[in-house]
Amino acid sequence: MPAHFIIIGNGAAGLSAAEEIRRRDDRARITILSDEPHLFYSRPGLAYYLSGEIPADRVIARTPRDYQTQNIHLIHRRCTDILPDQHQVVLQDGRHLQYDALLIATGSRAVPAPFPGRDLDGIIYLDTLNQAKDIVRRTRRARTAAVIGGGITALELVEGLHARHVHTHYLLRRDRYWASLLSEEESAIIENRLTDMGIELHKRTQIVRVEGRKGRVEQAILSTGERLPVDLVGVAIGVRPNIDLARRAGLQCDRGILVDTYLRTSAADIYAAGDVAQMWDRWSGEHRVDALWPSAIASGRAAGANMAGAHQPYEKDVPFNVARLCGIMMTAIGQAAARHTDDERLLEISRGSSQVWTAFPLAKYLRIKRVQGSTSIRLVIRDRVLVGALLLGYQALATPLRELIAAGVDLSPILPSLQRGDQPIEDLLLDFWRAWKRHTLTASEETHHDV
Amino acid sequence: MNILRRLLSILAPPETPYAGMIVAAEAIRCVQCGICGYSCPMNIDVRFYARQGLLVTDTRCILCGNCVEKCPRGTLFFIPRPEGAAARPMPSPDRAVLYL
Ligand SMILES: Cc1cc2nc3c(=O)[nH]c(=O)nc-3n(C[C@H](O)[C@H](O)[C@H](O)COP(=O)(O)OP(=O)(O)OC[C@H]3O[C@@H](n4cnc5c(N)ncnc54)[C@H](O)[C@@H]3O)c2cc1C
Ligand code: SF4
Ligand code: SF4
């Protein structure tokens, strides 16, 4: 009997695992359990459906044929229990299925609204295709909306509602957009765009409660005392990994399901990957959860390989994220956060309209940035090594920076020029990266010849 | 809709500044949203290539650049067409950049 691999979740991690298992083993039985009624679709793509750039069916990224030709059996049923001792999963219809190896790839879901009134009709989240369709339906009648949350999803909700002619108020808990990642200038670039679009920004403002009529959202009461008449309230204040199944089965969990470097959970033959898994992260030196598409794909693939017997440790790549914020492309790579704790004093250099360069000899982190209009480049350097970067607008540096950060390359040769700011940062970095790339490619080719 | 767009593009092919080029993709940026294929007048499944980091070797490609322009993630870009590209969906984009 060929081995039976069961995967819970038909998302980025689950499907990547299934496809990887099939690539390695053409006899294996592969079953995916999904509580969503669709074939695999692009969750980030939901934002572009909401904004009207593509119809709903276009986000679906696999055809029934893709499942058939790879002989991946998709069952549209929720898994209600895992029985690790029996090596079985229980389906919502009561069926028990036997596995040889199991992958939990149940993803994450939006944190529920924190205020009274959260159960009213008109409180919306953007997690699934069905929710996105529901939002689109509601925008036909809705005239005004409020959205809370930092990050990408909140902004995508704001942009989507705005694109569908809903007058939108965007409430920020702090005094600027995405303060935990972006620098002040970067936040300002996005905020200016939002204001230009006609979005009403409310800084340092929270929703205290939402009041309704006949069960429907009618007004939001704000921390400023203001009463905002609204038809919809969008909530995107973070995500929570779907660990309930694993918890009930007695698997070790923290924020997510704890896995080792082979993506194995604490139970025999059970793996976890994607948003739900809490994996070792060499960058922070801790087990961390991610909610990133590229991480879900990579970890899903790695889990699939290991389930099929590869026994390869999975090393998390540099955290990497691309997003489009109000039409401006953003790439965040590595330790890109602009915020820092008190003991990490920062050096800053800037050109164009931003602040003037000041130096602290004892600083641990060096921050180099260039802001010009709605384009910005920011580098985070530690002990002369590039550890993080954030790009707004200009994207040609994204690959070079990702590679330099992943390889932990010493920037010493160009550091003085970068700090002086007497040459364009882009040219310096591109030339440096090209030279480094040529060198590493030649070196690796030479090793090949030696063999 | 697609058939109409396709007909239009065959009857009046847009001028292309991209002769001798080919569409390449950086897979790690791709979120499989499908905008590229949706904006392609030839109805090419660009996402299929993009998510695997392959060159868009589909012979129907008229190099109009729609997919490159519309991709919300900056995944797609033109590179000079390497020899034999149609038969060989090869180079990794970082290598490709070195040609430029
Ligand atoms: C609107 C939006 C925008 C985003 N934008 C970005 C972005 O710009 N960049 C980025 O990197 N990431 C983005 N993300 C995050 C990205 O989509 C996720 O990191 C990724 O989808 C995680 O993949 P996954 O396979 O781990 O989980 P998911 O894609 O969440 O898939 C898990 C699946 O498992 C199912 N499931 C859960 N429990 C069960 C059960 N008991 N039985 C059966 N099925 C179950 C779920 O319904 C779901 O279908 C975005 C997400 C959203 C929602
Ligand atoms: S538009 Fe860009 S991100 Fe979307 S599927 Fe195509 S290449 Fe990937
Ligand atoms: S360049 Fe034009 S024809 Fe070619 S794949 Fe892109 S959209 Fe299609």
Among the candidates A279, A307, A335, a domain finishes at: A307
DSSP A176-205: STTTTTS-HHHHHHHHHHHHHHT-EEETT-
Q: Is B58 a domain residue?
A: yes
Q: Is B100 a domain residue?
A: no
Tokens of A119: 């159960």
Q: Is B9 a domain residue?
A: no
Residue B79 bridge partners (DSSP): B22
- Per-residue pLDDT of A237-268, as tens digits, reads 988 999 999 999 999 999 999 999 999 999 99
Find the CATH number of the domain harbouring A330: 3.30.390.30
Three-class DSSP category at A154 = helix
| CA distance, residue B28 to nearest chain A CA (Å) | 6
Choose the closest CB to B35 out of A48, A329, A398.
A48
Cα distance between residue A402 and residue A141, in whole Å: 44
Cα distance between residue A308 and residue A263, in whole Å: 13
Identify how many contiguous H helices and E strands chain A contains and give both numbers. 11, 27
- Per-residue pLDDT of B38-85, as tens digits, reads 999 999 999 999 999 999 999 999 999 999 999 999 999 999 988 765
Q: pLDDT over 90 for what percent of chain A? A: 74
- Report the atom number in ligand 1 closest to the C-alpha of A77: 43
Among the candidates A262, A283, A307, a domain finishes at: A307
Query: Hey, how many other C-beta atoms are within 10 angstroms of the C-beta on A100?
Result: 15
Residues B35 and A58 sit within 8 Å (Cβ to Cβ)? yes
Q: Is A432 a domain residue?
A: yes
Tokens of A350: 């800037």
Task: For residue B7, report the distance from its CA to the centre of ligand 3, in Å.
Answer: 14
Cα distance between residue A165 and residue B84, in whole Å: 49
Residues A222 and A172 sit within 8 Å (Cβ to Cβ)? no
Residues A222 and A138 in one domain: yes
Q: Is A312 a domain residue?
A: no
- pLDDT computed for residue A448 by the predictor: 57
Residues A436 and A324 in one domain: yes
Contact B33 A54 (CB under 8 A): yes
- Write out the residue range of the structural domain in which residue B60 sits: 26-82
Find the CATH number of the domain harbouring A71: 3.50.50.60
Q: Considering only B3-7, B31-35, B46-50, which range has the smallest mean pLDDT?
A: B3-7
Residues A340 and A422 in one domain: yes
Q: Which residue has the higher pLDDT, A348 or A135?
A: A135
- pLDDT computed for residue A449 by the predictor: 54
Determine the residue among B1, B30, B32 to mutate to test chain A binding: the one whose Cβ has the most chain A Cβ atoms within 10 Å: B32
Residues A10 and A155 in one domain: no
Residues A267 and A169 in one domain: no
Cα distance between residue A425 and residue B64, in whole Å: 32
Q: Say how many domains are in chain B.
A: 1
Q: Which residue has the higher pLDDT, A274 or B95?
A: A274
A270, A273, A269: which is closest to A256 by C-alpha? A273
**pTM of the model as a whole:** 0.89
**Chain-centre distance for alpha carbon A183:** 19
- pLDDT computed for residue B85 by the predictor: 57
Task: For residue A427, report the distance from its CA to the centre of ligand 3, in Å.
Answer: 30
- pLDDT-derived band at A343, boundaries 50, 70, 90: very low
Residues A292 and A365 in one domain: no
Q: Is B63 a domain residue?
A: yes
Among the candidates A207, A237, A267, a domain finishes at: A237
Task: For residue B11, report the distance from its CA to the centre of ligand 1, in Å.
Answer: 42
Residues A161 and A129 in one domain: yes
- pLDDT computed for residue A335 by the predictor: 82
Between chain A and chain B, how many beta carbons pairs sit less than 8 Å apart? Answer: 64
E strand spans, A34-100: 72-75, 79-83, 88-91, 96-98
Q: Is B71 a domain residue?
A: yes
- Per-residue pLDDT of A50-96, as tens digits, reads 999 999 999 999 999 999 999 999 999 999 999 999 999 999 999 99
Q: Is A313 a domain residue?
A: no
Residues A220 and A288 in one domain: no
Q: Are strands A365-372 and A346-349 parallel, antiparallel or unpaired?
A: parallel
Residues A54 and A169 in one domain: no
Q: Is B7 a domain residue?
A: no
Residues A375 and A405 in one domain: yes
Q: Which residue has the higher pLDDT, A250 or A365?
A: A250
Cα distance between residue A355 and residue A373, in whole Å: 14
Partners of B73 on chain A (C-beta within 8 Å) are 322-324, 329
Q: Is B5 a domain residue?
A: no
Partners of A53 on chain B (C-beta within 8 Å) are 35, 70, 72
Cα distance between residue A314 and residue A259, in whole Å: 11
Please report, in angstroms and rounded to a whole number, the separation of the first and last CA atoms in chain B. 36
The residue type of B58 is D
- pLDDT-derived band at A351, boundaries 50, 70, 90: very low
Contact A322 B32 (CB under 8 A): no
Cα distance between residue B67 and residue B16, in whole Å: 13
Q: Is A314 a domain residue?
A: no
Partners of A301 on chain B (C-beta within 8 Å) are none
Cα A27-A245-A31 angle, rounded to 5 deg: 15
Q: Is B1 a domain residue?
A: no
Contact A59 B34 (CB under 8 A): yes
- Write out the residue range of the structural domain in which residue A59 sits: 4-109+241-307
Query: Hey, how many other C-beta atoms are within 10 angstroms of the C-beta on A424?
Result: 12
Task: For residue B28, report the distance from its CA to the centre of ligand 2, in Å.
Answer: 10
B21 touches chain A (CB under 8 A): no
| Nearest Cα residue in chain A from B33 | A45
C-alpha distances in angstroms, A68 versus A39, A65, B34?
12, 5, 21
B1 touches chain A (CB under 8 A): no
Residues A300 and A333 in one domain: no
Choose the closest CB to B72 out of A48, A61, A331.
A48
Please report, in angstroms and rounded to a whole number, the separation of the first and last CA atoms in chain A. 40
Cα distance between residue B15 and residue A220, in whole Å: 52
Q: Say how many domains are in chain A.
A: 3
Partners of B47 on chain A (C-beta within 8 Å) are 61
